[in-house]
A = this chain, B = another copy of it.
Amino acid sequence: MENSSQTAIKKRGRPSHFDANTALEQALIVFWTYGYEGTSMAELTEALGMNKPSIYAAFGNKQALFKKVLDKYTNEFTTFVAEAMREPTAAQAIHGFLSQAAVFLTNPKTPHGCMIIQGALTCSSDASAIKALLIDYRKNLERTLTLRFEQAKTQGDLPNDCNSQDLARYVLTLHQGMSVQATSGASLAELTAVIDLAMSASYLRSMR
C-alpha cells in the first residue's frame, strides 16, 4: 500500500525461490487428482518443490491451502459457466454449459472430472468441513442456474410453468454424473452423446 508507486521494491530478507502462483497450480493438480484427504502434505512438498515449513508459511495449513487452491480453480477453470449463462436462451445456456463442461471434464491437460465434486464427496469426519464447503459451492452453482432460468422465463424462452430450480437441479445432476463418468475414464465423445440425449428433453428440444 505505502510503496505501491515504486515499481522495484527491495524486499528485506532472503528471497523466496518459489512462485506462489505456480506453486498453487501444482497443488491444484494434486488435490484435483487425489481429493482433499487422498492428498498428503508429503505429496504436496514434492509437487510444489517446497518443504513443509515454507508451504505453511506461504499458504497456512492443509485446509487453508486447499481453500486457496479452490479459489484458483473456480477463478481460472470454471469461467465457462458464466460464459454459458450469457447465451441468449435457456436452452442455449444449458447446451453451452454442458458441452463446455464435457470438454473441460475430459481435458487431457488437466485431471479428469470436477474438483468441486470429487475433492471430498465422502471423507472422514475430520474433513467434514471441507465436504460441507464443496457442497456449498455446488449449491451456489445451482443458484446461478436457477437465476438464469428465472431470467429466461421473463424473456419468454422458457415456459412459465417450468420450475426453474428443478430444471437447474436436472442440469446439475447431469453435470455431476458427467463428472463421475469423466473421472472413471469416459471420453469427450461419450459425454457428448449423453448431452445429445439430455438435450432432447421436451422443454429444450424445440429451442436448439
A contact set with B: CB distance below 8 Å: 33-35, 37-40, 113, 117-119, 121-125, 127, 135, 138-139, 163, 166-167, 169-170, 172-181, 183-186, 190, 193-194, 196-198, 200-203, 205
A183 to B117, CA, bound (A): 11
The reply to whether A170 and B183 contact each other, CB–CB distance below 8 Å, is no
Q: With A33-B122, A39-B124, A121-B35 in contact, is A180–B169 under 8 Å at CB?
A: no
Top 5 A-B residue pairs of the complex, sorted by shortest distance between their CB atoms: A177-B177, A173-B177, A35-B122, A176-B180, A176-B177
| Interface majority SS (helix, strand, loop, mixed), chain A | helix
From A32, which residue of chain B is reached at the shortest CB distance? B122
Task: Give the chain B neighbours of A33 by CB distance below 8 A.
Answer: 122
A117 to B170, CA, bound (A): 19
List 8 additional A-B contacts (Cβ < 8 Å) besides A121-B122, A174-B177, A176-B181.
A34-B124, A35-B121, A38-B124, A39-B124, A138-B184, A163-B193, A176-B177, A202-B205
The reply to whether A201 and B200 contact each other, CB–CB distance below 8 Å, is yes
From A178, which residue of chain B is reached at the shortest CB distance? B173
